[in-house]
């Protein structure tokens, strides 16, 4: 009985053993070559000519059959791999991320999971682990929402920043992208898509993640502007200028017109404004204020009076705007614009607001 209990509760290593039956010697040779390719290149390789496979467990000098497979139609071999947890910081919080580790010929490879939004592969040379080759690919189609794309990019940023110093410039071939450039690309893109996700929530729209691959500079500019205007609800200084306006309700009055020319005005603007994000049209409403506007000329037409505006070198003209989801909201703001005058005068550009966050 003691010997039996010893065998039952033994801590001896359990070994798995497999036996393959080949169609012929050529099939056996091709199998060995496939193993070598898998070990060298780190990928799955198709194998032909294997007729049967049996698997056993060896423990305590005993062998137990597990499975037997015959009439095999398709077989692939690949490198052995294991899961490795790594701790990274994302948005100030520590998180455990699971990576795949492979031991290949002359190198050790760390990879992200197959369903990752950003796939990473880091190949370290066994003879010098400080030499590493990094490859990546963005798979936005793996995500269901824009928020998930942003999250995937943050994970990629955190993994690379953990293993490499993002501020350290590394030597690279002419025209090659450096590792700090890659990390910075992931970081900035994750922030951009996080803003887009906030816009989606605020405007009750949904952008398919697959559309994000075709992002343009115009899209980037619109996302940043909408984030400031709609999500942060700030007055934003633009580079627009007012050149002239028509007014059919100003009676001609020589004396008052002479006083107007050269004077500085505070003009309020109000109307619709449209954006387009990845084929999704957005109709909003804005209230704008033209600041440092000087009346240069007044031109009388048949049924109208045209005011021509300009500015000075010391006080250049600019227009600050606020945006709203409905015309009622914009109209209410237009009526109280003088109460919020300082918001428009001290408004910053979109770039200045976003730089404050970084």
Confidence check: pLDDT of 220 > 80: yes
The arithmetic mean of pLDDT across residues 108-122, rounded, is 93
Confidence check: pLDDT of 73 > 90: no
**pLDDT at position 9:** 44
**pLDDT at position 7:** 45
Distance, CA of 67 to CA of 77 (rounded, Å): 18
- To the nearest whole number, what is the mean pLDDT of the chain? 84
pLDDT band at 304 (very low <50, low <70, confident <90, very high): confident
**pLDDT at position 229:** 97
Q: Which of 33-37, 299-303, 320-324 has the highest mean pLDDT?
A: 320-324
Confidence check: pLDDT of 172 > 50: yes
The residue ranking higher by pLDDT, 234 or 176, is 234
Report pLDDT digits (tens) over 148-169.
999 999 999 999 998 887 666 6
Report pLDDT digits (tens) over 126-145.
887 778 888 999 999 999 99
**pLDDT at position 154:** 97
**pLDDT at position 5:** 41
Confidence check: pLDDT of 8 > 90: no
The arithmetic mean of pLDDT across residues 14-30, rounded, is 79
């Amino acid at each position: 009985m003691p010997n039996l209990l010893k065998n039952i509760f033994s801590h001896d290593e359990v070994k798995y053993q497999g036996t393959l039956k080949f169609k012929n010697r050529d099939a056996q040779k091709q199998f060995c070559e496939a193993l070598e390719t898998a070990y060298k290149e780190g990928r799955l390789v198709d194998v032909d000519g294997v007729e049967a496979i049996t698997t056993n467990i060896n423990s305590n000098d005993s062998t137990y059959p597990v499975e037997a497979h015959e009439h095999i139609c398709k077989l692939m071999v690949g490198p052995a791999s294991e899961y490795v947890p790594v701790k990274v910081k994302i948005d100030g919080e520590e998180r455990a991320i699971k990576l795949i580790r492979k031991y290949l010929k002359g190198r050790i490879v760390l990879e992200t999971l197959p369903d990752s939004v950003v796939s990473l592969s880091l190949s370290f040379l066994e003879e010098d682990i400080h030499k590493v080759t990094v490859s990546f690919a963005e798979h936005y189609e793996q995500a269901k929402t824009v928020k998930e794309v942003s999250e995937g990019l943050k994970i990629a940023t955190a993994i690379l920043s953990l293993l490499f110093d993002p501020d350290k410039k590394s030597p690279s071939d002419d025209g090659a992208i450096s590792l700090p450039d890659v990390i910075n690309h992931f970081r900035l893109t994750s922030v951009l898509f996080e803003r887009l996700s906030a816009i989606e929530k605020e405007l009750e729209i949904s952008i398919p993640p697959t559309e994000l691959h075709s992002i343009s500079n115009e899209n980037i500019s619109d996302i940043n502007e909408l984030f400031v205007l709609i999500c942060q609800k700030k007055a934003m200084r633009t580079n627009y200028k007012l050149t002239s306006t028509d007014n059919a309700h100003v009676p001609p009055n020589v004396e008052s017109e002479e006083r107007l020319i050269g004077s500085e005005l505070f003009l309020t603007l109000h109307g619709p404004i449209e954006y387009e994000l990845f084929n999704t049209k957005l109709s909003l409403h804005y209230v704008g204020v033209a600041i440092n506007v000087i009346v240069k000329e007044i031109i009388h037409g048949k049924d109208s009076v045209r005011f021509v505006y300009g500015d000075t070198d010391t006080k250049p003209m600019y227009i600050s705007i606020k945006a709203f989801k409905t015309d009622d909201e914009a109209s209410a703001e237009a009526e109280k614009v003088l109460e919020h005058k300082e918001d428009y005068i001290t408004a910053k550009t979109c770039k200045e607001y976003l730089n404050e966050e970084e």
